[in-house]
Amino acid sequence: MIVPLLLALAFVITAAKIGGWLSNRLGQPAVLGELIVGLLLGPSVLNVFGQAYFEAAHVTGTLTELGELGVIFLMFVAGLEINLTDLLKTGKAAVLSGVLGVFIPIVLGVLVAIPFGYTTESAIFMGIILAATSVSISAQTLMELGLIRSREGLTLLGAAVVDDVLAIAVLSIFGAVATGEGGSPILLIWTIARMFLFLLGAFFLGVWLLPRLSEWAERLPISESLMSTIIAVVFLYAWASEAVGGVAVITGAFIAGVGLARSPMKEEIERGTHTLAYALFVPIFLVGIGLTANVRELSISDLGFAAAISLTAVISKIVGSGVGAKIGGMTWREALRVGVGMVSRGEVGLIIAGVGITTGLINSNIFTIVVVMVLTTTLISPPLLRWVFRGDDSAPG
């Protein structure tokens, strides 16, 4: 039934914008207020959409799917902000930040999980979950601060691509060994190789083809031909990213944005996608994160582990990605900013946790703990980013 969904959408969008406005009034990024609104509306507090009127229409599931479109558009908009030449200049720092930002969380995750009684396999899988970052929240915050094109912002986005590929590769190898399926070295090598081949091909097509495609689309004698084409391209890139390349859908959306940033139609594309994204899909995505968490399901012992793993999630990324950025040639202050920007886990961590549920490597209880960790890292990222960028001449307020 669409009628309950209409009410839910009106409620979510209005509440998100009010939350964002209040957050700005308190000197924090709007994204923080929108995330808190989701937590308040979700099962942890008010459980608004768990009421019979909404539950019968499966409103929460629909909001989740619409929110996934939100994160795709969010990363596409972030890509539009990026100059490819500047992004490539961050190569060494981005690669080292991404690599250490994967392996340090895995090691620390194992060391924290085992004392809580988890098996070695479950502890390693928890570490892999901590390795997966999702910079959509950080990208949104940096765009609000006007710092997405800064050296730290560009390094952060480059490191996120490296992190995505490496975390999925580690997951594939561990999953094959732990379950005893698909453990052929040739198959594992191909899994990793296709990720790199896809990224190279997607970047090449994005830079060479997409700007030309946008010019062609603009000349078509149909209504909104340019934006219709762009939306189709974004969805196609996002689909191919996971279905063909085996990496997260947000990576494909980001690459499409980077390619179209070179288009002569860039300003028109930005106007169209910005309105669509921030009026509808992004608020649903941000509120939807809070709707997935239900801390009431956790026992006292679960809360202790959730707190420990959330703290580890924060520290491991700041240390791992921060040290990697420093080794890559950045100052300690810049490296700290990159490390903080990699803290948020988001949908990538939830995707990996979902794989663990399917393969039996973790149970539903651990999944709930992962949701709490994702929510915690997501909530603290915006104020932490604002704090580490304090005093920057280009940062507002």
Q: Residue 117: how many CB atoms within 10 A of its CB? A: 10
Tell me the average pLDDT across 57-80.
Answer: 90
- For the chain, the three-class secondary structure string (H helix, E strand, C coil) is CHHHHHHHHHHHHHHHHHHHHHHHHCCCCHHHHHHHHHHHHCCCCCCHHHCHHHHCCCHHHHHHHHHHHHHHHHHHHHHHCCCHHHHHHCHHHHHHHHHHHHHHHHHHHHHHHHHHCCCHHHHHHHHHHHHCCCCHHHHHHHHHHCCCCCHHHHHHHHHHHHHHHHHHHHHHHHHHHHHCCCCCHHHHHHHHHHHHHHHHHHHHHHHHCHHHHHHHHHCCCCCCHHHHHHHHHHHHHHHHHHHCCCCCHHHHHHHHHHHHCCCCCHHHHHHHHHHHHHHHHHHHHHHHHHHCCCHHHCCHHHHHHHHHHHHHHHHHHHHHHHHHHHHCCCCHHHHHHHHHHCCCCHHHHHHHHHHHHHHCCCCHHHHHHHHHHHHHHHHHHHHHHHHHCCCCCCCCC
**For the chain, percent of residues with pLDDT exceeding 70:** 93
pLDDT bucket at 397, cuts 50 / 70 / 90: very low
Q: Which pLDDT value is given to residue 183?
A: 55
Q: What is the pLDDT of residues 74-118, one digit of tens each?
A: 889 988 988 888 888 888 999 999 999 999 999 999 999 999 988
Q: Is the pLDDT of residue 394 over 70?
A: no
pLDDT of residue 181: 53
Instruction: Reply yes or no on whether the pLDDT at 213 is more than 90.
Output: yes
Predicted pLDDT of residue 295: 77
CB 66 within 8 A of CB 289: no
How high is the pLDDT of residue 269? 96
pLDDT, tens digit, 9 for 90 and up, residues 216-274: 999 999 999 999 999 999 999 999 998 998 877 888 998 999 999 999 999 999 999 99
Provide the residue ranges of all domains of the chain, joining segments of one domain with +: 71-283+301-388
Residue 395 confidence class, pLDDT cut points 50, 70, 90: very low
CATH class assigned to 71-283+301-388 = mainly alpha
Query: What value does the mean pLDDT take over residues 379-391?
Result: 89
pLDDT at residue number 9: 96
Residues 158-184 have pLDDT tens digits of 998 888 778 877 877 786 666 555 556
322 with 338: CB under 8 angstroms? yes
Q: What is the pLDDT of residue 88?
A: 81
pLDDT band with cut points at 50, 70 and 90 for residue 347: low
**275-333 pLDDT per residue, tens:** 999 999 999 988 987 787 777 877 887 889 999 999 999 999 999 999 999 999 999 99
Question: 43-52, 96-105, 121-130, 340-349: which has the minimum mean pLDDT?
Answer: 340-349
What average pLDDT does the structure give for the chain?
A: 87
pLDDT for the residue numbered 27: 78
